[in-house]
Structure 1
Amino acid sequence: MENRGQAEAGFRLDWVDVARGLGILAVVVGHVWTRGSLRDAMYSFHMPLFFLLSGMLSRSHPPGDFTRRQVIGQMRPYAVFLAALIALDQIVETAKGNRPIFHQWPEDIVPILLGGFWLRGPFTIFWFVPCLMVARILFNLALSRWPDPLDRRWAMILPPMLALAYTLGWWTQASVLGLLSVPMAFVLLWVGAAWPRLRWHNGKILPLGLLALAGLSGLLPTLNMKAADYGWPLLSIGSAIATALLLFRLSALVAPFARPIAALGRESLAIMYCHVAVIHYLTPYLGKLWLLALALLIPVALARLIRLSPRLARWLL
């Protein structure tokens, strides 16, 4: 029984890694192909997938301890990766005879600290981790009161949170540390936590597939979660949820045969932080497929180097 439990736990970890791998692959593809139907298809689901997956893995924790661990565990690598990429930009752009993105010091310290909306170019993805962190802290606070996501009392906060998400998105795109997207991220965390409590049956494939196809095909407006642009109310985000849930199901089915994708999933944090910089600096010199390959392989190689030091790995990965 113990061996069976360990095997099942390993399988569950494998499918999560595969799901993360598919998600990070979609993120990178969406940043390599910056226009057209392929880009729109990736943007229709790729960021919601990570929020949903985080919700699926959520468990109630003491709020104080959880908040402390989240802030330290997430913002430490955020600060280190951001500082390293800013330093790299100073070196690369100066060597090319260009001005670095941040070149007015000390004035540029303010937009760097604001993050989110103010981080563009190779730093554009840095909105995601603070947004996820704050959403998880708030979600854990609610989960500690109502551990069952299907408890009716969740109805007191989910509709207002959803309304707040759309209202903020219509009002502004300015987002300190990406926190503009926290209300929608909170809703997605709840959907992810609630979904495993609903019994799966194959009859769900057709409605989920049709809704997913509406987003992937461009029939529905696509998403830009960083700017709190959620497309058509409920429908576009619903399509993203449908696509992600089907990909989770697929990940569970193919996990034993998808080790390369799972390997990407295990290094998804390093890829998330570094891939845009690879694309940004190499775009003038390489084709799309080369950019895709290097935007995955260079961060994976960096992560493997970091893992050579257990202390550094704890800090950054």
Structure 2
Amino acid sequence: MDKRGQPQAQYRLDWVDVARGIGIIAVVIGHVWTRGPLRDAMYSFHMPLFFLLSGMLSRPQPVGAFTRRQIASQMRPYAAFLALLLIVEQIIEPLKGQRPIFRHWPDDLAPILLGGTWLPGPYIIFWFVPCLMIARILFNVALNRWPDPLDRRWALLLLPMLLFAYVLGWWTHASPLGLLSVPMAFLLLWVGAVWPRVPWHNRMILPLGALAVLGLGGVLPTLNMKIADYGWPLLSIGVAVATSLLIFRLSALIAPYAGPVATIGRASLVIMYLHVAVVHYLTPYMGKAVLLALALLLPFVAFHLIRVTPLRRIFL
């Protein structure tokens, strides 16, 4: 029990949902405002936040069972939402007097199956889930070997992985299924796993805040994890970590009062998959503020409709 007499597990889940809510709102903002300082501020931290959060919740699990569970639970919704948007595109684009992105069948099956950077337009976010899934599977293998993320032997893996992440990003931007970003995602999972072991002190706010300002204020180059563009080596990703850790701390403090944000966080996966399509199809007809509201609201409503029907077994 915590000091308010509430179960600790529930309190923990509440702040996690708040953090997810803040993160997914940042993602949507970054896709509504596609250029300028607001977009750059969101891109400075929004995707690393989700990898860090996943790392914080990671525990060693049996490798085989965990791998099978990840593939089944993540790739089923991935395929379902991708198929749904492909059908929607075939309907909406002709109604607008335009041709669908994917219209050369069966040749277009190849880029659809490759995913990642081969998916443009309303599909651009589909790199994230397979990237996270593969990174989590690999991280779980390492956790089973070294359950303590502070074990010095992790350095034998982390240092080459860090170098590999930057070399890959400099070498190519091609990313099938988001695999290009897996090395950096792996590193962020480790940082997330380490963070709960670090006692919080309020004096941390100053250095973390200073780093966060460098990213949010556009002083340092921003990130684009999809194409493994990590800005200035170590500094830009360090800014993302600092901003995310401050958001986690804020989420824990406001969790009892941030129910609406937590509710958005619980719908974050569906919002992740569907919001870009809303932005893509409505941008010519809506102002930015209205577009932001609809890009959150429509997928949020879809989430609640899906969860009360048998479709939840496919999409959730």
Q: TM-score, normalised by structure 2?
A: 0.98
Determine whether 1:38 maps to 2:54: no
AA aligned opposite 1:301: V
Deviation at 1:314, TM superposition (A): 3.7
Aligned counterparts of 1:196 and 1:273: Cα–Cα separation in 2? 29
Alpha-carbon distance in 2 for matches of 1:168, 1:8 = 41
Q: Give the distance between the partners of 1:245 and 1:91, measured in 2 at CA.
A: 42
CA distance in structure 2 between the partners assigned to 1:237 and 1:205 by the alignment: 18
- Could you tell me the percent identity over the aligned residues? 72
Question: Match for residue 315 of structure 1?
Answer: 314
| Cα offsets for 1:211-266 (capped at 9, x unmatched) | 11101111100000000000000000000000000000000000111111101100
Aligned match of 1:277? 277
RMSD across aligned positions (CA): 1.3
User: What is the aligned partner in structure 1 of residue 228 from structure 2?
Assistant: 228
Q: Displacement, 1:202?
A: 1.0
CA deviations 1:137-196 (Å, max 9, x no partner) are 000000011111101110100010000000000000000100000000000000000011
Letter matched to residue 88 of structure 1: V
The verdict on how the C-alpha distance between 1:65 and 1:3 changes in structure 2, with shifts beyond 3 A counting, is: farther
* Superposition TM-score, scaled by structure 1 size: 0.98
Offset, 1:2: 11
Distance in 2, Cα, partners of 1:2 & 1:258: 18
- Return the offset for 1:6: 5.9
1:6–1:64: structure 2 CA closer, same or farther, 3 Å change rule? Answer: farther
In 2, Cα distance between equivalents of 1:254 and 1:221? 30
Partners of 2:80 and 2:314 within 8 A in 1:
no
Aligned to 2:47: 47
Which 4+ residue blocks in structure 1 deviate beyond 3 angstroms? 1-6
Counterpart in 1 of 2:143?
143
Partner Cα separation in structure 2 for residue 231 and residue 2 of structure 1: 40
How much does 1:316 deviate?
1.8
1:118 aligns with 2:93: no
Q: Secondary structure at the match of 1:232?
A: coil
Measure, in 1, the Cα distance between the counterparts of 2:40 and 2:241.
15
Aligned to 1:63: 63
Number of the residue aligned with 2:155: 155
Q: Retained in 1: the 8 A contact 2:116–2:126?
A: yes
Aligned-partner Cα distance in 1 for 2:6–2:71: 31
User: Unpaired runs of 5+ in structure 1?
Assistant: none
* Map of 2:254 onto structure 1: 254
Secondary structure, counterpart of 2:285 in structure 1: coil
Counterpart secondary structure, 1:253 = helix
1:155-174 to 2 correspondences below 5 Å: 155-174=155-174
Which structure 2 residue ranges, 5 or more long, are not aligned? none
Residue type matched to 1:82 in 2? L
